Amino acid sequence: MCGICGIVDLSYQGRKEHFPVITGMTEKLRHRGPDSNAFFYNDNFVFGFSRLSIIDLKGGMQPISNEDDSIVLICNGEIFNFIELRQQLTGKGHLFKTGSDVEVILHLYEEYGTALLDHLNGQFSFALFDLKNRVLLCARDHFGITPFYYTVVNNYLVFASEIKSILAFPEYRRKVDLTGLDQVFTFPGMVGNRTLFEGVLSLKNGHFLRYDGYKLEEKEYWDLIYPTLEERIPVEKESYYIEGLNDLINNSIRLRLRSDTPVGLYLSGGLDSSLIAAKAKTISPQYITNAYSIVFGEKDINEEKYQHLLVQQLQLKHYKKLFNYTDITTRLPDAVYFCECPIKESYNTASMALSEMVHDHDYRVILSGEGADEFFAGYVGYRFDKIRQLQPAGIGADSAEERAIRARLWGDEDFFYEKNKSALTGVKRGVYAAGVRGKFDQFDCLQHFVVNNSRLANRHILHKRAYLDYKLRLVDHLLSDHGDRMGLANSVEVRYPFLDRSIAEFAARIPPDLKLNDFEEKYILKKIASAEIPMEIVNREKFGFVAPGSPYILKRNVAYINDLLSYDTVKRQGYFDPEAVQALVKQYSREDFHLNIPFDSDLLMIIITFGILLDKFDLPDHS
């Protein structure tokens, strides 16, 4: 991974007065690319690039251009199938200047235009300018692993890998996006193109942004499509799916081991990271040596026993970070700075500590297990759906208001996802300050687009939940504030073998009962894993890890936390009702109080980290 940023004069009138700020914008991304910075200047645009060297260490500098310098590119990320693409393009007569993986994008564009995206297997965001045709093309990978943010100010398009870079543009005026804030309370993360910064948009996964001098448009080029109930997909033997999925996972790992620097492993002790570790070690036994884990002192959330089982089997060097409450409160401000949003749980701080340990060992690339829960029904919600289907009609009936919200969001008034949204609306109204509450109907996130619910219509209930988990939990949460940001905070690129398009598309066609078999989650993945990792890991009950939340933090009596939650600070900021916040502090401080995650939201954690966000980014109080 690297950092990219740019300014484009959309009038194409050569307005270059703000172009010198590109150096400051690029410097804000130094943690993403500590090795070197470089720039490309044109009358109508300027690109900035901050490099983290992983492939073609000497020759892979950017910005990079094609043979006749008519197309210029900056790319953050990796193209894993670049060797195969390079061979194909060389056969078509294209000439390459470097051994860099991203150079294939230039030549694919020459061949296919925007359809180049259909050929890429990787995690990437890029900006490409076609000088002959005066066309700008920006894109983000299929799963949104790599971030891309943009805004339009005074007819300038300003974009970057992180929002803090955009904030360096002098004409942008900082303001909180209240719908973005409302989404944090309501969904696993912010949804779609929303951010906490008004006017700054996140390019959605599987989308590109194109400008031809007349129209700036964002279009979808890929999404994960589950079959409708009417589609007659042949159902094969169980062995067909096991063998096919196993082959795809092996191939994905091989591609993600392509690196000119060592590759390590994140090891949680769970099924997903253990399977990735075992397969990576089998594929490249001399190359894969190091595993990194977080361990907690609290017995009920410590997975060290299972980590040790796999480390012993694979003969890995195991590096562990003992994490405690002091680590959480010490690291929380930095975690918010790198996430650029409020966070709902403290695990971000542990993830950041993990990448710091990797960085301290001079590693830049790590494999991690995200994606399996979403593709193979690994969350508890899938089992709850099955329980609800077994209940007699009328049991646990929902209000008309709740059913109307579900119909609007999901296109199905009977489908329950995460929380009762009508009840949550009442909670949010009670927490917001009067001045914010008075605008609630304008920014209520339940009134805005969430997902394309035609992708949910007439699907199996397991596939409905899987699609929402992929869009709302994986893309908009786990891969952003949990993943990219916490890794690149310490210049570490995290790669996800389960997030290969071929695996996702194959998984979408696997019969639901091979994902959730009776009440056994990730059934097909366990079948594969049983031949490769200790059965104690395969058969253990899924560990719904919940990092210590705000009730634990309150007991630590930390000065800056107390100040953020104080009546005077909350009142001055103007976003939350200070009396409601004080009531929450009192409630959360009781010895007998505990949050039932994921059914309860840690409201105080959101309020604390939102206060940190205001301070870190000099966002204005609400007037």
Residue 300: predicted pLDDT:
65
- What mean pLDDT is predicted for residues 509-529? 97
Q: Which CATH number fits domain 3-220: 3.50.30.50, 3.30.70.2190, 3.60.20.10, 3.30.60.50?
A: 3.60.20.10
Report the C-alpha gap between 10 and 322 in whole angstroms: 51
Distance CA 607, CA 421 (A): 19
CATH fold for domain 225-322+351-544 = Rossmann fold (3.40.50)
Confidence of residue 54 (pLDDT cuts 50, 70, 90): confident
Q: How confident is the model at residue 543 (pLDDT cuts 50, 70, 90)?
A: low
43-52 pLDDT per residue, tens: 999 999 998 8
Q: What is the pLDDT of residue 145?
A: 97
Range(s) for CATH 3.40.50.620 in the chain? 225-322+351-544
Tell me what the mean pLDDT of segment 443-461 comes to: 93
Alpha helices (H) in 361-473, listed in sequence order = 372-375, 380-390, 400-410, 421-431, 434-437, 440-443, 461-468
Region 589-603 average pLDDT: 82
Length of the chain: 623
What pLDDT was estimated at residue 510? 98
pLDDT tens, residue by residue, 88-137: 999 999 999 999 999 999 999 999 999 999 999 999 999 999 999 999 99
For the chain, residues classed under CATH 3.60.20.10 are 3-220
Whole-number Å distance between alpha carbons of 269 and 374: 18
pLDDT at 60: 74
What's residue 98's pLDDT?
Answer: 92
The answer to whether residues 428 and 575 touch, using CB atoms and an 8 Å cutoff, is no
Which of 46, 13, 50, 6 lies closest to 168, judged by CA?
A: 6
Cβ contact 47:74 at 8 Å: yes
Question: How far is residue 623's CA from residue 552's CA, in Å, rounded to a whole number?
Answer: 32
Query: What is the SS3 assignment for 494?
Result: strand
pTM value is 0.96
pLDDT of residue 599: 65
> Is residue 220 a contact partner of residue 204, using CB atoms and an 8 Å limit?
yes
Amino acid sitting at position 326: T
Structural contact between residues 402 and 532, judged by C-beta atoms closer than 8 angstroms: no
Residue 419 has pLDDT above 90, yes or no: no
Distant-in-sequence contacts of 323-326, Cβ < 8 A, 24+ apart: 323/294, 323/295, 323/296, 323/297, 323/349, 323/350, 323/353, 324/296, 324/297, 325/548, 325/552, 325/553, 325/556, 326/556
Average pLDDT, the chain: 94
